[in-house]
Each structure stands twice: as C-alpha cells, then as structure tokens.
C-alpha cells in the first residue's frame, strides 16, 4: 500500500507541474496585441519564424486539451491517494501507515499530522468539500468543463454569447489554481526533523518514539508551499494589460461615414476613427451595444491602407449579424453606435512577401483579398515599382450570383487599370458559382460569345462548379518553375485540407525550384 500511495502521489505532483506549465501558456496565444506586435517585428524574419504566429488559436486549443488531460490525471491520482489515506486512518494494526495516521489524533501541534483524514469517521467527500484544496479543485474543474464544452464549434457559432460568458470562467479557474495548494494538504517531513527521526533509522522502532534510549523523536511534517501562482502571475499580468489596452481603444469614438446594403444580405460599413492605422488583410473586432453589451465579433477589413477610411463587409450568418443588418436597414431610426477594437495582424499581411500569390476566398471569405487587391490598385496608381509580387491568381467561390455584385466594381477597375498600364497578365482571376439552376446555366451558355460575362459583367467568364485544384496547381507550377508561391485561404476547413495537400504535392523537392507555402486566415 505504501508503494501504491507513493506512486499515486508522484503522479498527482507530476501532473500538477504539467498543469502549471500549460496554464502559463494558455493565455499567451489570445493576446492579440502581443501577436500583432510580434508579427510586425518579425516582418523581416524567415517564414519559418513567422509561421507559428499564424496558428495561435490552434496552439491555444492544444494547450487547453493538455490541461484537460492533466486535470483528469491529477484528479484520478488524488482519488487513489485519499482512498489509501482513508484506509490507513481506519486501520487498527500497528503498521507504520496506521501510526502516522494516528498522529493527528494524539498530537495537537500543527506540524504533527500527516494524514489529512484525521479521524476514522471522516469521509473522503467531507475532506473534498471542506478543505481549500478540495473545494478549489472541484470549482476549478467545473469551470474548466464548462469552458471546454461551450467552446465546441456548434455552440460557438450558434450561441456565441453563451460561449463568451462561460469562456470567461477562466478567471475562476485561475483563482482556484492559485489557491489550490495554499493549505498544504500534501505534506512531507521537515528537514530538521529528518535528523531526529530519519525514516531509515526510526521506521522499525516507531513504537519507541520519544524513548530516550531509542534516540528517535516524533516526526514533524509541513505542507508543500503553493507554486501555481508563480507560473501564472506573468501571463495573467500580460493578459490584464492586454484587456486594459483593448478597453481603452474600444472607447474611442467611431464615426460611420457610409452604409451600403449589397445583394445577398451583405452590409458594408465605412468608418473613420482617430489614430486608426491598418495593413492589408488585417481584422477588427466589432461590438454593437444596442444588440449585445458582451459580444465582440471579428471582421476582416476590406479597405486598403491607402484609403482615408476603413471598411468591413458583414454577411447575415447568425442572430447577431442579422440583427445588426436589420438595425441599419431601418431608415427612420438613428444609426446604431459601433465600437471597434483593433486592427490585428493576420497571415494575409505577408502576401506581398511572395513572388507569386494565390488568393482563394469562399463566399464572404473574399474580404481580406478585397483589401489586398485595392491596395495593389493604389500602388499601380501612384507608380510603386517596389512591389515584389509579380503575379496574382485569385479564386472566388460563391453559392449564388448575388454574392458577386458588391465585388464586381473593384474587379472591373482592376481590369481597366491593368490594361492601361500594360499589366494584363498581373491578375489572373477565376470566379466559380457552386449553386445554380438550369435557367442560369442556359442563359450563360447562350451568351458565352459576348465580350463580358452575363452574370458579372467582367471579361473573365464565370465557371460553374468547383475548381479542380490539381489542374490549377499543376498549371501554376509549370508557369513559375523557380518561384516561391504563397497560397492564402479564407474559407472552410475542408477547402483548407485540399489546398494544404496540393501545396505539399506540387512543391519541388529541390528548394531552388517552385515552392508552395499554405497560409490560412485564423481568428
């Protein structure tokens, strides 16, 4: 039993250290200002050094899973510990375990007891719900379970406010973690007591403790000092500073200069805010207090850094977005007040670091590329010859024709600009319609010979169906045999899986030849 107790105790202590380490890391990936700062300072670093910044949420989730695993190990190990503590307390023999357990009954000194279960009638449940260690462990575990379960994608997308509220139980979790070891329920023999009652010397003569002839004294014990607060103090301080910065920045006044309702329930907001500076592909968090005082939602900026305003496009995709669009559609009501936090950096900022860029947007996922293409248009307007990117392949996949409407003007302007500057081959774009009926398809087929596409008004014809990525990547690899190609996606995970696979498949084993680097928007 002694060996089993020591093994379980070792497992509990080891898992506790792992919990402390992972709890130290869990907040760092969600410090958006810190990540944006690091992305800016690493702009001249290699892609390998910048790549981890693109997977901050994935890392956050992995750390959360590890916390759950080590919490389960810690709880299980302590259940075995308390069960053995209880058996030792109830034992009536003269074993060492029984003698050590009885110290709590016979001695009143604080440093005399070892077994937290201090009487045969005391149950494990009683100790669990009356001790600081047990109570904080139960509350912290419940908070952790609620945070993890409410973070499931179904709940996060359909009941965002529930997710937001329960995720802030991390405050309770960290408080319980800091207080968990403060009572010192796991105890060990004091160093000075080891000289008087060394286990190797006195374990076999414990019935003669305090006998002057034996030279052994009653052992004295003390609890292990709490350590968790040392691990979480720095990241908590960093996160508190992050939230204070976000709060003050969100209080700055935002002026809505233009509201446009596009087809397919897409709302465009153009805004200005003092001191607002952005880069291509960045995103902001938006809150509308008249809809919810708690909810902040991320939206990619569709404006270019060269413009004197910043804009977002919002598609109806849930209760919050539908309520927001409805609020702006009411003509006789005052314009709803908007709060903005950001901008924050994303992987799309690196688009101009590649010689060739492949931009893939699905539905409203085209928004970061609107910012990029607008910025290119402005660069060409002012004659910027320092642009590293020599070719852009743009793919936009939509379910309905109305989704193309709000983006057509930009693409038409780009077409005209490229022709005037003699850069017709710079932008190669493909529009794909995945949802159509026989009337649309027949109408497009009858007008296929016209100079412009019947659906979009662009010179590039609209394709029906989905792209055949193997053919697209093969064509790009053949056209650019010695280039570094950056593939950027804002779209669903299934599409990301296919593009990542193609990037690996069509990258050459020779580093001097074509290399595809996959980048996905994550926020």
Q: Mean pLDDT by 10-residue block, N- to C-terminus, for the chain (523 residues)?
A: 63 89 93 81 61 82 94 88 68 60 56 65 74 88 94 82 88 92 71 61 58 63 80 93 89 89 82 88 89 85 88 83 86 83 83 88 79 82 75 84 67 73 77 70 57 61 82 89 88 88 88 87 71
Helix intervals (H) in 397-520:
405-421, 438-446, 469-479, 493-506
pLDDT of residue 349: 80
Cα separation, 277 vs 167, in Å, equals 30
Supply the pTM of this predicted model.
0.76
Cα separation, 180 vs 163, in Å, equals 26
Of the CA atoms within 13 Å of residue 489, those in its CB half-sphere come to 19
pLDDT of residue 198: 62
Nearest to 118 by CA among 93, 202, 8, 130: 130
The segment(s) of the chain belonging to CATH 3.40.50.80 are: 349-437+447-520
Q: Chain centroid to CA 379: how far? A: 33
Nearest to 254 by CA among 324, 368, 342, 313: 342
Q: Angle of helix 228-250 relative to helix 2-25, nearest 10 degrees?
A: 20
pLDDT of residue 1: 44
Count the Cβ atoms, other than its own, within 10 Å of residue 71.
Answer: 22
**Residues 316-331, buried b or exposed e (16+ Cβ, 10 A)?**
beeebbeebbebbeee
Our separate counts of H helices and E strands in the chain read 19, 14
Please answer whether residues 271 and 310 qualify as being in contact, where contact means their C-beta atoms are separated by less than 8 angstroms: yes
- Take residue 73 and report the two structure tokens written for it: 């190990």
252-344: CATH, from 2.60.120.370, 1.10.10.60, 3.30.565.10, 2.40.30.10: 2.40.30.10
- Take residue 476 and report the two structure tokens written for it: 């790009």
Cα separation, 498 vs 476, in Å, equals 16
pLDDT of residue 20: 93
Cα separation, 70 vs 342, in Å, equals 35
Q: May I ask the CATH class of domain 349-437+447-520?
A: alpha beta
The segment(s) of the chain belonging to CATH 2.40.30.10 are: 252-344
User: Hey, is 202 helix, strand or coil?
Assistant: helix
From first CA to last CA, the distance across the chain in angstroms is 51
- Take residue 287 and report the two structure tokens written for it: 């809150």
Class of residue 209 by CB neighbours under 10 A (exposed 0-12, middle 13-18, buried 19+): middle
By residue count, the chain amounts to 523
pLDDT of residue 156: 81
Please answer whether residues 57 and 27 qualify as being in contact, where contact means their C-beta atoms are separated by less than 8 angstroms: no
């Amino acid at each position: 039993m002694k060996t089993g107790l020591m093994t379980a105790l070792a497992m509990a202590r080891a898992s506790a250290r792992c919990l402390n380490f992972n709890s130290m890391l869990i907040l760092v990936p969600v410090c958006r200002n810190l990540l944006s700062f690091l992305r800016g300072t690493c702009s001249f670093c290699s892609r390998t050094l910048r790549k981890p910044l693109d997977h901050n949420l994935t890392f956050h989730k992995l750390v959360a899973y590890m916390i759950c695993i080590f919490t389960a190990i810690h709880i299980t190990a302590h259940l075995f510990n308390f069960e053995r503590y209880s058996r030792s307390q109830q034992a009536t023999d003269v074993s060492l375990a029984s003698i050590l357990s009885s110290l709590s009954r016979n001695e009143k000194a604080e440093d005399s007891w070892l077994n937290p279960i201090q009487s045969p009638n005391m149950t494990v449940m009683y100790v669990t719900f009356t001790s600081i260690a047990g109570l904080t462990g139960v509350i912290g575990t419940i908070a952790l379970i609620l945070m993890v379960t409410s973070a499931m994608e179904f709940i996060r997308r359909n009941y965002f406010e529930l997710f937001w509220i329960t995720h802030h139980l991390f405050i309770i979790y960290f408080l319980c973690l800091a207080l968990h070891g403060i009572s010192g329920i796991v105890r060990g023999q004091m160093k000075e007591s080891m000289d008087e009652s060394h286990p190797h010397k006195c374990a076999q003569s414990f019935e003669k403790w305090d006998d002057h002839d034996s030279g052994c004294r009653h052992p004295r014990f003390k609890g292990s000092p709490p350590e968790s607060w040392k691990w979480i103090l720095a990241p908590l301080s960093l996160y508190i500073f992050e939230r204070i910065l976000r709060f003050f920045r969100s209080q700055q006044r935002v002026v809505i200069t233009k509201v446009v309702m596009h087809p397919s329930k897409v709302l465009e907001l153009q805004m200005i805010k003092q001191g607002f500076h952005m880069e291509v592909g960045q995103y902001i968090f938006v809150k509308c207090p008249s809809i919810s005082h708690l909810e902040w939602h991320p939206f990619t900026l569709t404006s270019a850094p060269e413009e004197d305003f910043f804009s977002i496009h919002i598609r109806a995709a849930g209760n919050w977005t539908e309520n927001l669009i409805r609020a702006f559609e009411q003509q006789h009501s005052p314009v709803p007040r908007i709060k903005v936090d950001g901008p924050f950096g994303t992987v799309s900022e690196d688009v101009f670091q590649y010689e060739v860029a492949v931009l893939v947007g699905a539905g409203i996922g085209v928004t970061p590329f609107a910012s990029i293409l607008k910025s290119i248009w402005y660069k060409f307007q002012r004659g910027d010859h320092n642009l590293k990117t020599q070719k852009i392949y743009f793919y936009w996949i939509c379910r309905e024709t109305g989704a193309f409407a709000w983006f057509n003007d930009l693409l038409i302007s780009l077409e005209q600009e490229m022709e005037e500057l003699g850069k017709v081959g710079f932008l190669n774009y493909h529009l794909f319609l995945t949802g159509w009926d026989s009337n649309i398809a027949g109408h497009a087929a009858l007008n296929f010979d016209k100079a412009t596409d019947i659906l979009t008004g662009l010179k590039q014809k609209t394709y029906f169906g989905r792209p055949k990525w193997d053919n697209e990547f093969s064509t790009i690899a053949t056209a650019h045999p010695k280039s570094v190609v950056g593939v950027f996606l804002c779209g669903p995970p299934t599409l990301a899986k296919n593009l990542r696979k193609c990037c690996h498949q069509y990258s050459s084993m020779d580093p001097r030849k074509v290399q595809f680097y996959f980048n996905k928007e994550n926020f």
